[in-house]
Structure 1
Amino acid sequence: MKPVVLLDFWASPFGQRCRIALAEKGVEYEYREEDIMRNKSSLLLESNPVYKKIPVLIHDGKPVCESLIIVQYIDEVWPDRSPLLPADPYARAQARFWADFVDKKFNECGTRLWQLKGEAQAAAKEEFIEILKLLEGELGDKKYFGGDAFGFVDDTLVPFVSWFYTYETCAGFSIEEAAPKVVAWGKRCMERESVANALSDPHKIYETVGVVKKRYGIE
């Protein structure tokens, strides 16, 4: 086993955050794909006995769980290259706030877009557009959420760019029409090698979501 191992699943935006952070830092690691739906490895179950889910970063034999915690750990352990969190305490707190917002609001609402139908889906779409507008307000005219440098909030949100097609197709709307600045930001992020190599093909994600919906009877 290499000193750094990442237990992950190819389509996971949470795992992709960790891959992007590791790439930004230039950290070599061993990638281990997990069969999260049918056959989780004993290493995953041992490394994350509480939640039993990916991603898990194993560094020198010690596991770190939960993607936002993993990204912050990576930033602290390898501080000399491409810092993700700002040095200023207030700016750091703000970055953590918006990263938490992405997990608690953006991701949760985005999931409802492909899980629900009818009026419930319409309500989720309306809420999602409001979330996008809040993110646009925070982004403003900056290159990245933290300013000129790619940072923690960008790393947290950008994996969901590859899920935009699924959200739009399932719920019948255009994210670019609702939030053109967010879409333009996503394209800028995709110009980074770390991001381009981590994100999955949007159509492949949409196909996988269809399989999941059939498996759990939510079509």
Structure 2
Amino acid sequence: MAEVKLIGAWGSPFCFRIEVALKLKGVEYEFIDHDVHNKKSPLLLKYNPVHKKFPVLVHNGKPICESLVILEYIDETWEKGPSLLPKDPYERAMVRFWAKLLDEKCLPALRKACLSRGEEQDKAKEESTEILKFLEGTLSGKKFFGGDNIGMVDIVANFISYWFIIGQELAGLQVLTKEKFPKLDEWMDEYLNTTIIKENLPPKDKLTAMFKARFEAAAAAGGGGGGGGRGGAPK
């Protein structure tokens, strides 16, 4: 039987992506909870010496790094279970496009909206709203970004449905609401109530406590610091 280990942290949306994919595929794995602040741990130095980030998937002793890369590896390695990416080359390219946009544009904007103040926050809120409008448009007539079933874009966007909603509430923001984004709201409800997602989400109270600590640290540092469950700069 293939040996599969996932090195990550319980509160990271990036690590949760990998757990969701493995569970959808029915792959048994061992989760190794890593200290998010220890970038020099022997484990990370061994399996991800270049970036020293998690998650890291270790399959039969071979490490695979970066969550988007790991998701594609899982989809290509284990054919059992639902496909995370479509077979059509164009549609696969579009999935990669949206996944990259979520990580490189949407996530930083949402994080900054929660953690910054003043003009910087206003700018981040505007940028977040524009990106969310694009995402709203892609959901027209669809249950999930992947169609009738959860796909890679849904898994990558998990930080919007749970992590950002908690952060938004703590920051007193009204960026993502049912009134502004009804389709995204419906998608969040469908996604979070899917059995595999619902049964494996990090406890909200524990995640909220972690966010509060990071918000306080960011405020003490003048705002704009890290957050959103990304501790240790995983990806």
Residue-pair matches, total = 218
1:68-217 correspondence to structure 2 within 5 Å: 68-163=68-163, 164-170=165-171, 172-176=173-177, 177-215=179-217, 217=220
More displaced stretch, 198-207 vs 111-120:
198-207
C-alpha distance in structure 2 between counterparts of 1:96 and 1:58, whole Å: 23
- The percentage of counterpart residues that share the same residue type is 41
The alpha-carbon distance between structure 1 residues 197 and 54, as it changes in their structure 2 partners (threshold 3 A), is: farther
C-alpha distance in structure 2 between counterparts of 1:178 and 1:201, whole Å: 27
C-alpha distance in structure 2 between counterparts of 1:79 and 1:121, whole Å: 44
**1:28-72 alpha-carbon deviations (Å, 9 max, x no partner):** 000011111247631122111111111000000000000000010
**Cα offset, 1:197, TM superposition:** 3.0
| Bigger relative CO (Cα 8 Å, ≥ 6 apart) | 2
The normalised TM-score by structure 1 is: 0.92
C-alpha distance in structure 1 between counterparts of 2:160 and 2:57, whole Å: 20
Q: For structure 1, which runs of at least 5 residues remain unmatched after alignment?
A: none
Over aligned residues, Cα RMSD in angstroms? Answer: 1.8
The alpha-carbon distance between structure 1 residues 40 and 139, as it changes in their structure 2 partners (threshold 3 A), is: farther
**1:70-91 alpha-carbon deviations (Å, 9 max, x no partner):** 0100000001311100011111
C-alpha distance in structure 2 between counterparts of 1:56 and 1:107, whole Å: 20
C-alpha distance in structure 2 between counterparts of 1:84 and 1:192, whole Å: 15
| Partner SS for 2:10 | coil
Residue number in structure 2 paired with 1:19: 19
C-alpha distance in structure 1 between counterparts of 2:70 and 2:158, whole Å: 16
**Cα offset, 1:10, TM superposition:** 1.2
C-alpha distance in structure 2 between counterparts of 1:46 and 1:215, whole Å: 30
**1:178-217 alpha-carbon deviations (Å, 9 max, x no partner):** 2121121011012222212332244433321222244463
**Cα offset, 1:160, TM superposition:** 3.1
Structure 1's consecutive aligned runs of 4 or more residues displaced over 2 angstroms after TM superposition are 38-41, 197-207, 212-219
Q: For structure 2, which runs of at least 5 residues remain unmatched after alignment?
A: 224-235
Whose helix fraction is larger, Structure 1's or Structure 2's? Answer: 1
**1:126-170 alpha-carbon deviations (Å, 9 max, x no partner):** 111111111000111201112112111111102431111212431
The normalised TM-score by structure 2 is: 0.86
The one-letter amino acid paired with 2:110 is G
C-alpha distance in structure 1 between counterparts of 2:18 and 2:196, whole Å: 10
| Partner SS for 2:199 | helix
